[in-house]
Structure 1
Amino acid sequence: MTKQAFVALVTCFNEDETINYEATRAQVRRQVEVGNNIMCAGTNGDFTALTFEEKVRLTEEVVDEVGGRVRVIVNAGMPATFETIKLAREFDRIGVDGIAVITPFFIACTQDGLIRHFSTVADAVITPVYLYDIPARTQNHIEAETARTLSGHGNIAGIKDSGGAKETLEAYLQVAKEVDGFEVYSGPDHLVLWALQNGAAGCISGLGNAMPHVLAGILKGVNAGDVAEAERQQAIFAAFRTDLYALGFAPAMVKRALYLQDASVGASRQPALLPNEEQDARIANILRQYGLL
């Protein structure tokens, strides 16, 4: 099976904090040109800072810009099942390829509550639903047995694992091996190649915003059976990740690294961290080391 890379696309903002849709479209084109698929309105897309209406328009703009050339997944997850369904139905109408549903945040959930949440959303739409686990941000975690239960739902197609723990990823991959049609997408950028070699259908990468060609190179190497090339590209990706993430919060560092390559990306909405000249200089130095600036 051909493995696929998705980039967890940033959302671009103007100086007055309105969304810069044209700049966002430019970032879509940049990814499509190298063959990467798109995930929008996720963690790297500042989804918690966007209104309901903005998420709908953002998805319309991205889908229109993609024009069917690559796949588009959009995150509909919100704390309440009610609003998640409302968003998911809008994305269903627009015509995306998949709807990701991040675990509820702020609200503490039992595993039974998660099963009810995801099942109810999946019942409400035709578009395939993907579970999205990122416990460090939501404080809720989809256990492997819960994923196994949900894999039996006719409209739940897989899971995005952004937990960062190899053991959790292994447990999800075991579910995928045992359940036909259930796909695992790896979130941690240092595990892209390992995940692909161990049964993942693909990856959903935040770092790919700043280094799209290398992410695409890992996938091309894997799909062509060129392990040495895939390993070479993964080594570059992992080293860049280590250097960049040593400076601060991962999504913020990705956004800033991209901003220094293209100022039209803008900053994130407040209360996100303000630009820091000293930090920017260190990021720029890293970008130069990797031939990105």
Structure 2
Amino acid sequence: MSSAYVALVTCFNDNESLNLDATRAQVRRQVAAGNNILCAGTNGDFTALTHDEKLSLTEAVLDEADGAVKVMVNAGMPATWETLQLARAFDRMGVDGIAVITPFFIACTQDGLERHFTTVADAVQTPVYLYDIPARTQNHIGPEIARKLAAHGNIAGIKDSGGAQETLAEYLAVGRETDGFDVYSGPDHLVLWSLRNGAAGCISGLGNVMPDTLAAIVRAFDAGDTAEAERQQKRYADFRTDLYALGFPPALVKRSLWCIDPSVGASRQPALLPDPAQDGKVRDILARYELL
């Protein structure tokens, strides 16, 4: 069976402190839809969270999910040393998977990336998933390094958030060559395409706003209902196109969810602030898709 993960938003109070009660409510929402969870990812404002906050956030998500769905958490930081501290802590918590985003700010060679991911995977028992998002980190896991890393006994797959079908196809080729190396698509418009081409599933930010549609794409694909899978994918992709035309995708996902449920709060600064004009455009889009 294919797996849909949602890169869960992190909820904040008005003073920007963590709102774990509201975050738990979002966990329950995804569990009800049947979606697995990635916490402390790009859509979870992980760069704005402290080390200890990531631990308390993960504890709350695990507790609320209570085994009903799988929980993966992102441990990736610029330095291997800090990534190791987080990965070991998550390993002790019993998460289902540890995602490791490529280092950001630090320019890495391909050999440097190989050492970084290998060091983390060697240090934990929990399966490690590579996380490639070069537009945000400026570091890209090339297919040859992905192939080498796929042979590591504790590197179980990769999340591709590059946005290009070509790159995703390269990772899927690695997955076909290597048993136990799963590919998860990040781009929301490629969910169905990736499943048809051998992906194990997807990890989606837009699923915060449309959890049932995301689940429906995967469910219809697994059931062999091509027409329904295509219908749900079109709805998902059309919403993505309309929403992301307004600006930075993670900020707009959070803002859309805020329009539906203000308890999620705004993101920590200097992220997108409430703006009546933009919120009006977001609400118009949400209404068009019957999400309000």
State the TM-score, normalizing by the size of structure 2: 1.00
Secondary structure of 1:159 counterpart:
strand
Residue 85 of structure 2 is matched in structure 1 by 86
User: How far apart are residue 273 of structure 1 and its match?
Assistant: 2.0
Residue 166 of structure 1 is matched in structure 2 by 165
Secondary structure of 1:158 counterpart:
strand
Residue 190 of structure 1 is matched in structure 2 by 189
Kindly report which structure 2 residues correspond to 1:135-150, keeping only aligned pairs within 5 A, or say none.
Answer: 135-150=134-149
The one-letter code matched in structure 2 to 1:8 is: A
User: How far apart are residue 275 of structure 1 and its match?
Assistant: 1.0
Residue 127 of structure 2 is matched in structure 1 by 128
Question: Partners in 2 of 1:87 and 1:20 — Cα distance?
Answer: 21
User: How far apart are residue 223 of structure 1 and its match?
Assistant: 0.9
Question: Partners in 1 of 2:85 and 2:228 — Cα distance?
Answer: 44
Question: Partners in 1 of 2:267 and 2:135 — Cα distance?
Answer: 20
Kindly report which structure 2 residues correspond to 1:157-236, keeping only aligned pairs within 5 A, or say none.
Answer: 157-236=156-235
Moved over 4 A (4+): none
Secondary structure of 2:55 counterpart:
helix
Secondary structure of 1:130 counterpart:
strand
User: How far apart are residue 88 of structure 1 and its match?
Assistant: 0.3
CA deviation digits over 1:12-46, x for unaligned, max 9? 00000001000000000000001000000000000
Residue 35 of structure 2 is matched in structure 1 by 36
User: How far apart are residue 174 of structure 1 and its match?
Assistant: 0.2
CA deviation digits over 1:135-160, x for unaligned, max 9? 00000000001000000110000000
Secondary structure of 2:258 counterpart:
helix
Question: Partners in 1 of 2:168 and 2:183 — Cα distance?
Answer: 8
Question: Partners in 1 of 2:275 and 2:188 — Cα distance?
Answer: 25
The one-letter code matched in structure 2 to 1:46 is: D
Kindly report which structure 2 residues correspond to 1:17-36, keeping only aligned pairs within 5 A, or say none.
Answer: 17-36=16-35
Secondary structure of 2:58 counterpart:
helix
Residue 108 of structure 2 is matched in structure 1 by 109
Secondary structure of 2:12 counterpart:
coil
Question: Partners in 2 of 1:11 and 1:107 — Cα distance?
Answer: 25
Secondary structure of 1:278 counterpart:
helix
The one-letter code matched in structure 2 to 1:277 is: P
Residue 247 of structure 2 is matched in structure 1 by 248
Question: Partners in 2 of 1:226 and 1:274 — Cα distance?
Answer: 41
The one-letter code matched in structure 1 to 2:178 is: V
Question: Partners in 2 of 1:22 and 1:274 — Cα distance?
Answer: 22
Secondary structure of 2:254 counterpart:
helix
The alignment's C-alpha RMSD in Å is: 0.4
Show structure 1 runs of 5+ residues with no match.
none
* Higher mean C-alpha deviation, range 95-104 or range 272-281: 272-281
Question: Partners in 2 of 1:72 and 1:91 — Cα distance?
Answer: 11
Secondary structure of 2:168 counterpart:
helix
Secondary structure of 1:7 counterpart:
strand
Residue 69 of structure 1 is matched in structure 2 by 68
User: How far apart are residue 91 of structure 1 and its match?
Assistant: 0.3
Secondary structure of 1:87 counterpart:
helix
User: How far apart are residue 5 of structure 1 and its match?
Assistant: 0.2
CA deviation digits over 1:66-113, x for unaligned, max 9? 000000000000000000000001100111000000000000000000
Question: Partners in 2 of 1:129 and 1:137 — Cα distance?
Answer: 20
Residue 274 of structure 1 is matched in structure 2 by 273
Secondary structure of 2:107 counterpart:
coil
Secondary structure of 2:195 counterpart:
helix
User: How far apart are residue 274 of structure 1 and its match?
Assistant: 1.2
The one-letter code matched in structure 2 to 1:105 is: F
Residue 153 of structure 1 is matched in structure 2 by 152
The one-letter code matched in structure 1 to 2:177 is: E
User: How far apart are residue 195 of structure 1 and its match?
Assistant: 0.2
Secondary structure of 2:145 counterpart:
helix
Number of equivalenced pairs: 292
CA deviation digits over 1:268-289, x for unaligned, max 9? 0011121110000000000001
The one-letter code matched in structure 2 to 1:181 is: G
Question: Partners in 1 of 2:130 and 2:109 — Cα distance?
Answer: 15
